[in-house]
Structure 1
Amino acid sequence: MYNPFHLHPGVEVYIDLGALPTMIEVLSVEVYGGFNAVAAPLEVCLDFLNGYRSRFPALYVCGNSSKALDGIRGNFRVRRGFTIHQLIEILLNAYQDMIFIEHDALLFEDCDFHTLEDFVMLLRQIGRDRTVVYFTTNRDRIFDFLTTLADRYILVEAEEGGYFIAEVDEKGINQRFYPKMVGQLTLEVF
């Protein structure tokens, strides 16, 4: 048998392909592989969802009520989970490389701590080789708890002239301001 690498039988080879390619951007923050939590206004969420471009469909998962579902356009496979157990089942059967999950606080009303822990560990496990974006337009205690276990947390707050962005990951905290795009300014001569 021809062996182009001249390896001994039984030797395993690990090839590090590096980070997953960047697929989406939240304002000026590139989102790459891992378990990412994003809290942002609805217009920002719709912007990064509709900015996803790939010939392979992404999985979009939402619960009982969705603020963003009516506004998304693109190559998405949409699934709804009405309980935390259904959401876990959907994620266990997911094969997509990009997974968007819209936070729904109602799913966690009757959830015990062990189920919540299983859910978070599943998000982290899926994020090892895929990109998971768990997002909300309204933060609550459950979402804030989930962000403490995420690989990366992006908080976007709307301000008068733009958006304040705080990005927290293993490197620390990166804060910036992203100005809103307004109509082109012209100079007037008096």
Structure 2
Amino acid sequence: MELIREGFNVLISPSAIAVNEAINLTNTSLSCLFIAGNRISILTKIKHGYEVARAFTSHQLLTLLENAHHQSIFIEHDPSLFESVRDAEILALALRDTASRCETLVYYSATHDEHLRIISRLADRIIVVTKHRPGYVADIIELNPRREVRSFLLSDVQLTLEV
């Protein structure tokens, strides 16, 4: 079972998990876009499969999303893009709209912050992966009317879900 599913996914995890999920996304999609901000943490570990774009402001990120025509989009969260809470609210709406036009949208962050919390409110699911011996634990929160929460143990070696 994969962590990422169709729709608008917010992924909060260590970089190793994010890299693995980004690579898996390229294996299942015909066209993929990776959007980075001012800081790049995982893009250098992903060797191929993505068209890459950079946004240095929240307005540039909005423009990239508006013009996106890819099947899958992976965005690395950069808190320095936001000048206000309103910027995060506008971005959340744009991410929701973009997710309705593409198959899979992943908004990734290694840490929680106020802007990410605002963006997460409109996601279809929030996936929080934390380090846990012997590997990782993934909490998947489906933001449907029932607000389902599921947890899984991830193998440290395979970085895939165990049954």
Aligned to 2:70: 96
Give the residue type in structure 2 aligned to 1:174.
R
Mapped partners of 1:64, 1:140: distance in 2: 17
Using the size of structure 1 for normalisation, the TM-score is 0.74
Aligned to 2:135: 162
Give the one of 30, 35, 60 matched to 1:56. Answer: 30
**TM-superposed deviation, 1:159:** 1.6
Using the size of structure 2 for normalisation, the TM-score is 0.86
Give the one of 51, 60, 73 matched to 2:47. Answer: 73
Distance 1:119 1:31, change over 3 A: same
- Is 1:107 the counterpart of 2:81 in the alignment? yes
Whichever of the two has the greater Rg, that structure is: 1
Aligned to 2:151: 175
Q: Determine if contact 2:3/2:127 at 8 Å carries over to the other structure.
A: no
RCO higher in structure (CA 8 A, sep ≥6): 2
Flag structure 2 segments of 5+ consecutive residues without an equivalent: 159-163
Q: Determine if contact 1:33/1:129 at 8 Å carries over to the other structure.
A: no
Aligned residues: 153
Percentage of pairs with the same residue:
27
Aligned to 1:146: 119
- Cα RMSD (Å) of the superposition? 1.7
Distance 1:143 1:67, change over 3 A: same
Distance 1:129 1:162, change over 3 A: same
Aligned to 2:95: 123
